[in-house]
Amino acid sequence: MKKILLSVMILTLCVYLFGCSAKSNAPQPSTGAGDPSQPSVTTPVIPDGREMMTDSGTYVGQADSNFIEIKISGVPEEKASKVFMLSPELKEGFDDLGLETGDEIKFDYYVNENKANVILSIKTE
């Protein structure tokens, strides 16, 4: 299982590094002021008009500064774990969220042109 997860993370990282060399012209989201007990790092902005999706699950951990793993709610155990890339805006303030393994979260994401799931915002439930 660890080999599969590591392979997926490496593949996703390679796709991201080699497929995202051009700068985005999308407007940069602003950090909104909200309830301090429910930190939200960004206001979601979807590049190139892509469809934004919302899901929930259990935070598993951070693989590196670019990727996190989440067990998606309502999915069979063997298919529940997914790796998500942090958007540049979320990556900047990710540590401020204070997530711990086992935290229940709700998140907004989109699938980029390289088929990577990119998280735009995270809220604890």
For residue 62, the domain's CATH number is 2.40.50.320
Tell me how many domains the chain contains.
Answer: 1
- Which residues, including other chains, have CB under 8 Å from residue 96's CB and lie 6 or more apart? 39, 41
Question: Residue 9's pLDDT band (boundaries 50, 70, 90)?
Answer: low
| pLDDT band at residue 48 using 50, 70 and 90 as cut-offs | confident
Domain that includes residue 53, residue range: 2-19+47-124
For residue 89, pLDDT beyond 70: yes
Q: Is residue 30 part of a domain?
A: no
Percent of the chain predicted with pLDDT > 70:
62
CA–centroid distance for 31 within its chain: 16
The pTM for the full model equals 0.63
Longest dimension (CA), the chain: 40
